[in-house]
Amino acid sequence: MSSSNRLGMSLVWSELWVLFRRWRTLAMLGAIALIPVFLALAVYWSSDTLAPGEGPPFLDRVSQNGLFVGYTSTILALPLFLPLTIGVVAGDTIAGEANQGTLRYLLISPAGRIRLLITKFIGAIAFVIAGTATLMIAGAIIGSILFPVGPVTLISGDVISVAESVWRMALVASYTTVSMLGLVAIGMFISTLTVVPVGAMAATVVLSGVSQILDNIPQLELIHEFLFTHYWLGFVDLLRQPIDYASFGSNALLQLAYVVIFGALAYSRFASKDILS
Amino acid sequence: MTSAENYAVWTSELTKQFGGQTAVNKINLAVPKGSVFGFLGPNGSGKTTTIRMLLGLADATDGEIELLGNKMPKQAEQALPRVGALVEGPAFYPYLSGKVNLRRLDSASKNADPKTREQRIDRALAKVGLTNAANKKVHKYSLGMKQRLGIANALLQERDLLVLDEPTNGLDPQGTREVRNLIRSLSSDGTTILVSSHLLSEIEQLCSHVAVMSAGKIVAQGSLAELQAQNQTYLKVVTPDAEKTLKALTDAGMKPKQETKHGLEIFTSEVEHGFDGDEVLRKLLKAKIKIKSFAVEQASLEDRFVDLTGEGFDVVQ
């Protein structure tokens, strides 16, 4: 028996293989890639130039520097589209296997319930990484085709080199990935409650919407910093000079708390669940 | 209480309740090692729920389970790698090929050696005759092919116990016969096989031992020979001479039932187990009765099954 298998890596590779071979996964990544493409084309073809500060953050800068396409696309994708695709993947984790009947065969194999749950979590995170990377890479490609590329002027007014800007893109992608961990954990927990994957997906996406709405009601300020969507747009702080890591830290801590709580709930539910599908 | 070590599957007072309903009611199942064990019962009698508990998919409400000497579900990690199973029909990823599906399920097991994986998959596919369809997507498989792939999955590793829930479901007569042969050959290699079915002729041909479940309880259990010994034996005489035969049989102390079919009279009479028909036959011949057929028969397993589980569709309350 090989050591990689003892750690259960076979199942992780298999999970990634099955996830990324699926048409649905590839279609969602393709749709994510279309966001920067549409954005860039719309800016390219529109005759009016935006006044500085008009429209969503950075949109006014896209035509001057193609490297901004990725950042702007992230802002556009964050409230709905990215959580939607992540809701689909996280909601499908357990419920999808249960609905298909493959869950019973995985468990008889035996996959081990904790091991399966962790594997599914890793798979969903891999999708999040793929999604945020797709936004950035597709943005950089279309941006450099349509617009000039050069040193980037940050919100603070400082100018950074192209190489430094690529590093910031990677930082923003990691920030966004971390931002989605809480949602992934919530989606997985809901997924252990049902054998109807579409229900788990919808519930996950709805929760991300509800959290964002609550975050926008000033009277509820007391709970704002505990909402898992609260720091989603905080990646903007990574585009300052010097980089402000404060929101990265608070965000990571908050997401960790959500992962621990909903991971524990998912485990306690899944560990004792009768698999009757 | 019997010692569990001679049994591949052993349960004590195993019970499962769903809400207020008792699906499995204090059953003591004992599947001897090396046996082909037929698990019978009408739909809804609790067979599949029992199998789910045996395999650790569902928790027992009460009672104990030992699977290959391991307590379930506590020692599932020790027991399950030695168990191959087909439970409530095959299930696969429709968008993957048969081969990739097996690769996926095999990689789920920590005990499956990745180095021999491809080889074991090819062998299992060959055993069920799916080598040519190995690279076809499962959604293009027929029901019978999916069933075979399910059996191939159960055979991915050397197993001490196979649990096959309705293994011939959806198979054509050739496929059914092949599965039967496969079960026989696996059994002769020493694998214990627990096969649940409602096809009684199937069980009668295959099994060395039988348990019958009805409404959550085991109503009969033992070797097939033991069970058949309890079946009623009949004398059956087919003849055109109704009156003379009736008289001869009544004189011999029988109370035959009579029915007419195709212009012939059919007399059936319950007799003792081990009944010798020679004497009666001699009497009938002596009385110059024309005999079309004369036989001492045992009630089939099906008759016994219906005796035990009730007649008609509403057998489970």
Residue of A nearest to B100 (CA): A18
pLDDT for residue A9? 85
80-109 in chain A: CB under 8 A from chain B:
100-102, 104-109
**CA dist., res. B25 & res. B62, Å (int):** 9
ipTM of the complex: 0.87
Of A4, A111, A274, the CB nearest to B59: A274
More confident residue, A50 or B149: B149
**CA dist., res. B85 & res. B194, Å (int):** 9
Across the interface, whether the CB atoms of B91 and A102 are under 8 A apart is answered: yes
Residue B312 lies inside a defined structural domain of this protein:
no
Chain B residues inside the 8 Å CB shell of A4: 114
Q: How distant is the Cα of B225 from the closest Cα of chain A, in angstroms?
A: 33
Residue B115 · residue A2 · CB < 8 Å? yes
**CA dist., res. B232 & res. A166, Å (int):** 86
Residue of A nearest to B77 (CA): A110
Q: What's the domain range around B124?
A: 4-223
For chains A and B, what is the number of CB pairs under 8 angstroms?
95
Q: Helices B143-154 and B117-127: crossing angle, nearest 10°?
A: 130
Residue B164 lies inside a defined structural domain of this protein:
yes
Residue B303 lies inside a defined structural domain of this protein:
no
Residue A96 · residue A89 · CB < 8 Å? no
Is residue B137 located within the same domain as residue B266? no
Residue A107 · residue A11 · CB < 8 Å? no
Torsion, Cα of B29, B10, B19, B219 (10° steps): 10
Q: What is the pLDDT of residues B238-289, one digit of tens each?
A: 999 888 888 888 888 888 888 888 888 899 888 887 788 888 888 888 888 8
**CA dist., res. A74 & res. A132, Å (int):** 8
**Residue B310 banded pLDDT, cuts 50, 70, 90:** confident
Q: What are the backbone angles phi and psi of residue B192, rounded to the nearest 5°? A: -80, 135
Is residue B215 located within the same domain as residue B289? no
Answer whether B85 touches A (CB < 8 Å).
yes
Residue A74 · residue A176 · CB < 8 Å? yes
Mean pLDDT of A80-103: 96
Q: CA torsion sign, B98 to B104 to B105 to B109? A: positive
Residue B81 has pLDDT above 60, yes or no: yes
Nearest to A74 by CA among A202, A224, A179, A209: A179
Calculate the alpha carbon distances from A198 to A92, A275, B53 in Å.
7, 18, 28
Answer whether A49 touches B (CB < 8 Å).
no
**CA dist., res. A226 & res. A164, Å (int):** 32
Pairing type for strands B161-165 and B192-197 reads parallel
Q: How distant is the Cα of A138 from the closest Cα of chain B, in angstroms?
A: 28
Domain residue limits, chain A: 3-271
Across the interface, whether the CB atoms of A6 and B110 are under 8 A apart is answered: yes
SS3 A160: strand
Answer whether A276 touches B (CB < 8 Å).
yes
More confident residue, B244 or A277: B244
Domain end marker among B177, B198, B223? B223
Residue A137 has pLDDT above 70, yes or no: yes
Give the DSSP per-residue string, B263-305.
TEEEEEEEE-TT---HHHHHHHHHTT---SEEEEEE--HHHHH
CATH number at residue B79: 3.40.50.300
Chain B residues inside the 8 Å CB shell of A100: 91-94
Q: What is the length of chain A? A: 277
Is residue B218 located within the same domain as residue B237? no
**CA dist., res. A62 & res. A68, Å (int):** 5
Mean pLDDT of B64-76: 94
Pairing type for strands B209-214 and B36-40 reads parallel
**Residue A53 banded pLDDT, cuts 50, 70, 90:** low
Residue A2 has pLDDT above 50, yes or no: no
Across the interface, whether the CB atoms of A110 and B93 are under 8 A apart is answered: no
Mean pLDDT of B28-44: 92
Nearest to B266 by CA among B240, B247, B288, B300: B240
Residue A192 · residue A273 · CB < 8 Å? yes
Written as one letter, the residue type at B169 is: N
Chain B residues inside the 8 Å CB shell of A20: none
Lowest mean pLDDT among A54-58, A208-212, B18-22: A54-58
Distance of CA A81 to the CA centre of its chain: 10
pLDDT for residue B1? 45
Answer whether A3 touches B (CB < 8 Å).
no
Chain A residues inside the 8 Å CB shell of B153: 105
Residue B302 has pLDDT above 90, yes or no: no
pLDDT for residue B4? 66
Is residue B200 located within the same domain as residue B264? no
Q: How many domains does chain B have?
A: 2
Helix (H), strand (E) at residue A181? helix A181-192
181-200 in chain A: CB under 8 A from chain B:
none
Helix (H), strand (E) at residue B239? strand B233-239
Written as one letter, the residue type at B19 is: G
SS3 A64: coil
**Residue A105 banded pLDDT, cuts 50, 70, 90:** very high
Nearest to B87 by CA among A192, A93, A107: A107
Answer whether B242 touches A (CB < 8 Å).
no
Domain end marker among B157, B191, B223? B223
Answer whether A115 touches B (CB < 8 Å).
yes
Most B CBs within 10 Å: which of A3, A10, A25, A270, as the mutation test of the B interface?
Answer: A10
**CA dist., res. B70 & res. B74, Å (int):** 8
Question: What is chain A's mean pLDDT, rounded?
Answer: 91
3-state helix, strand, coil in chain B (%, to 5): 35, 30, 35
Residue A19 · residue B131 · CB < 8 Å? no
216-275 in chain A: CB under 8 A from chain B:
272, 274-275
Residue B33 has pLDDT above 80, yes or no: yes
Q: Please count the CA atoms within 13 angstroms of the CA of A53 that sit on its side-chain side.
A: 0
Tokens representing B271? Answer: 């007799």
Residue B153: count of CB within 10 angstroms of its CB: 26
Mean pLDDT of A47-63: 71
Nearest to B140 by CA among B97, B101, B104: B97
CATH number at residue B268: 3.30.70.100
Answer whether A8 touches B (CB < 8 Å).
yes
**Residue A174 banded pLDDT, cuts 50, 70, 90:** very high
**Residue A6 banded pLDDT, cuts 50, 70, 90:** low
Is residue B195 located within the same domain as residue B138? yes
Across the interface, whether the CB atoms of B107 and A275 are under 8 A apart is answered: no
Question: What is chain B's mean pLDDT, rounded?
Answer: 89
Chain A residues inside the 8 Å CB shell of B75: none
Q: What is the pLDDT of residues B114-167, one digit of tens each?
A: 999 999 999 999 999 999 999 999 999 998 899 999 999 999 999 999 999 989
Across the interface, whether the CB atoms of A102 and B93 are under 8 A apart is answered: yes
Across the interface, whether the CB atoms of A100 and B112 are under 8 A apart is answered: no
Residue B86 lies inside a defined structural domain of this protein:
yes
